[in-house]
């Protein structure tokens, strides 16, 4: 049997493979606080890169960052009834402001608060309260705000990065004078997410609108990005909500328009979270561990000096250092050298599992022939040796190829596991046998939605925007003039 970096392999146990990839790459771990994770340095570095990719796009489209309180008074939540219903079942409630030692020398809460707070699960209400004071006139609109923050949802079943009780995210909140402008903003931010996810994370997505049952609590429309993981299940990567005037009315956000009339604003909100790191791991990694697309990778190249004779050490390390410095003159290339006193094979495996894009091995042979031996992470058994100059010149291209290759591979896998079905029998058969993405016309009947959820664990992922114009016979009911929907099992 072929030895793999990760045990078990994807085929053997996909869920456990995912955990082991994270452990082997040292990305994150479960904490002693139920459902909360510790994001370790190698995982956090991915988040920092992702933040900078998103943040620059938010800023170049006129959004400004701000910061709002962690705590939300219960009275704010109460104002939007759907919103309450959506978040009341899983939240962290702060009820006391002191601790005292009891007779058993254990700490216990004291000084109960007059009004308890919840730790924000999302900030529509608390930010809306500020908006109600900041916005007076049409001149104050549009108001385009983003917040980088931690949020808490007391999830029952958690999984590193994909679903944790506390997670890091950004949440955009905007207010507009007209519904049209707010709808435009909702879709503009969805497009920014698509751009980052496809072009930086190399994850192909299907963009569309959520059905009523999957909408954000309090939203009029929720748009989503859906990706297919290697186990053929869907993962929702980001959402953008058109909130209509629901929160404007609940939080009393109004303005005097150019015509002198007092009107409620139209708001949007949109967010992506550390879940994207989970998607990245699940999407590209293989049975040897993490694979990261170059645009988001922590390290593009690691240089490993291979020293068999001590007498050659200085010469080899100098050659490596010189190569590192040459590569670093290109600011876009992240390169490091590993001089730790460890067996070459062991070192190499560590970096493979950590998802470094290009592994460079330099021994006497390379020094003597002024060459570089390297392997790209997606083909670790294909060592190449080329002249040093050639390597230096071509590394950027090789990284771009890897980026494209990862995207295309994912796209290809998705397309191979996607079918269009026209009747219920084929629908059931597909999900009972292999699973994947199904496109099918659907009458938007919620009872069908709940039946397939109960019987197959399949949900409507979205009504894909690309096919918004298409109409056909409902695959379940035969009803005519129905929109095309995307169905899948999902995380």
Q: In the complex, which residues of this chain contact a copy of itself (CB under 8 A)?
A: 29, 31-33, 36-41, 43-45, 47-48, 64-74, 76-78, 84, 88-101, 105-109, 116-119, 126, 129-130, 133, 145, 149-150, 152, 154, 166, 168
To the nearest whole angstrom, how small is the minimum distance from the Cβ of residue 122 to a copy of itself?
15
Beta carbons of 279 and 254 less than 8 angstroms apart: no
Task: Supply angle C-alpha 371, 373, 375, rounded to 5.
Answer: 150
To the nearest whole angstrom, how small is the minimum distance from the Cβ of residue 110 to a copy of itself?
9
132: number of Cβ within 10 Å: 18
Those residues whose C-beta lies under 8 Å from the C-beta of residue 412, and which sit 6 or more positions away, are none
User: Rounded distance, CA 203 to CA 227, Å?
Assistant: 7
To the nearest whole angstrom, how small is the minimum distance from the Cβ of residue 34 to a copy of itself?
9
To the nearest whole angstrom, how small is the minimum distance from the Cβ of residue 346 to a copy of itself?
13
Beta carbons of 146 and 64 less than 8 angstroms apart: yes
Beta carbon nearer to a copy of itself, 102 or 393: 102
Cis before 8? omega within 30: yes
To the nearest whole angstrom, how small is the minimum distance from the Cβ of residue 22 to a copy of itself?
14
In this structure, what DSSP letter does residue 83 have? H
Beta strand ranges found along 177-332 (DSSP E) = 206-209, 221-228, 234-244, 254-256, 262-264, 266-273, 301-305
To the nearest whole angstrom, how small is the minimum distance from the Cβ of residue 488 to a copy of itself?
30
User: Rounded distance, CA 408 to CA 443, Å?
Assistant: 33
Q: Which residue has the tokens 């609108």?
A: 209
User: Rounded distance, CA 333 to CA 301, Å?
Assistant: 8
Beta carbon nearer to a copy of itself, 230 or 350: 350
Beta carbon nearer to a copy of itself, 59 or 394: 59
Beta carbons of 289 and 354 less than 8 angstroms apart: yes
| Cα–Cα nearest to 459, from 233, 238, 269 | 233
To the nearest whole angstrom, how small is the minimum distance from the Cβ of residue 59 to a copy of itself?
10
Those residues whose C-beta lies under 8 Å from the C-beta of residue 44, and which sit 6 or more positions away, are none
Beta carbon nearer to a copy of itself, 69 or 478: 69
To the nearest whole angstrom, how small is the minimum distance from the Cβ of residue 147 to a copy of itself?
9
Beta carbons of 46 and 28 less than 8 angstroms apart: no
As given in the structure block, the two tokens for residue 199 are: 């072009």
Beta carbon nearer to a copy of itself, 152 or 352: 152
User: Rounded distance, CA 19 to CA 341, Å?
Assistant: 28
To the nearest whole angstrom, how small is the minimum distance from the Cβ of residue 31 to a copy of itself?
5
Beta carbon nearer to a copy of itself, 2 or 105: 105
To the nearest whole angstrom, how small is the minimum distance from the Cβ of residue 66 to a copy of itself?
5
As given in the structure block, the two tokens for residue 126 are: 């608390």
The four Cα atoms 448, 449, 455, 461 give a dihedral, to 10 degrees, of 140
294: number of Cβ within 10 Å: 27
Beta carbon nearer to a copy of itself, 150 or 324: 150
Beta carbon nearer to a copy of itself, 271 or 483: 271
| H helix or E strand, kind and range, residue 374 | strand 371-376
């Amino acid at each position: 049997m072929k030895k793999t970096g990760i045990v078990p392999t994807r085929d053997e146990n996909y869920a456990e493979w995912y955990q082991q990839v994270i452990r082997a790459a040292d990305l994150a771990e479960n904490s002693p606080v139920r459902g909360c994770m510790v994001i370790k340095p190698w995982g956090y570095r991915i988040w920092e890169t992702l933040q900078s990719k998103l943040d620059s796009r938010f800023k170049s489209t006129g959004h400004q960052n701000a910061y709002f309180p962690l705590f939300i008074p219960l009275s704010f939540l109460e104002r939007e009834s759907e919103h309450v219903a959506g978040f009341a079942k899983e939240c962290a409630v702060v009820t006391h402001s002191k601790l005292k030692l009891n007779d058993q020398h254990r700490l216990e809460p004291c000084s109960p608060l007059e009004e308890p707070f919840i730790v924000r699960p999302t900030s529509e209400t608390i930010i809306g309260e500020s908006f109600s004071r900041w916005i007076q006139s049409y001149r104050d609109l549009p108001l385009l705000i983003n917040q980088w923050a931690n949020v808490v949802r007391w999830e029952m079943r958690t999984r590193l990065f994909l679903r944790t009780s506390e997670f890091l995210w950004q949440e955009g909140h905007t207010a507009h004078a007209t519904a049209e402008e707010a709808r435009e903003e909702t879709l503009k931010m969805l497009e920014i997410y698509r751009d980052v996810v496809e072009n930086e994370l190399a994850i192909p997505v299907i963009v569309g609108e959520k059905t009523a049952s999957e909408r954000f609590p309090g939203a009029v429309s929720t748009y989503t990005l859906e990706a297919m993981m290697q186990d053929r299940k869907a993962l929702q990567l980001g959402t953008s909500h058109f909130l209509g005037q629901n929160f404007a009315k609940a939080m009393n956000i109004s303005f005097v328009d150019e015509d002198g009339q007092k009107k409620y604003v139209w708001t949007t909100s949109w967010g992506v979270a550390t879940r994207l790191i989970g998607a990245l791991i699940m999407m590209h990694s293989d049975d040897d561990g993490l694979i990261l697309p170059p645009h988001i990778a922590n390290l593009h190249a690691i240089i490993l000096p291979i020293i068999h004779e001590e007498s050659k050490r200085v010469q080899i390390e100098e050659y490596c250092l010189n190569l590192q410095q040459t590569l670093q003159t290109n600011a876009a290339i992240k390169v490091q050298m590993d001089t730790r006193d460890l067996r070459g094979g062991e070192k190499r495996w560590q970096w493979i599992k950590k998802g470094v894009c290009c592994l460079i091995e330099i021994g006497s042979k390379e020094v003597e022939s002024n060459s570089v031996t390297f392997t790209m992470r997606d083909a670790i058994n294909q060592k190449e040796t080329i002249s040093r100059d050639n390597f230096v010149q071509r590394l950027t291209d090789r990284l771009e190829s890897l980026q494209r290759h990862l995207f295309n591979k994912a796209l290809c896998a998705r397309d191979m596991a996607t079918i269009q079905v026209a009747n219920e029998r084929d629908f059931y058969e597909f999900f009972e046998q292999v699973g994947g993405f199904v496109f099918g016309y659907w009458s938007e009947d919620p009872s069908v939605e709940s039946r397939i959820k109960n019987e197959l664990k399949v949900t409507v992922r979205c009504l894909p925007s690309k096919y918004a114009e298409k109409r056909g016979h409902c695959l379940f009911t035969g009803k005519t003039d129905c929109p095309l929907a995307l169905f899948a099992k999902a995380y």
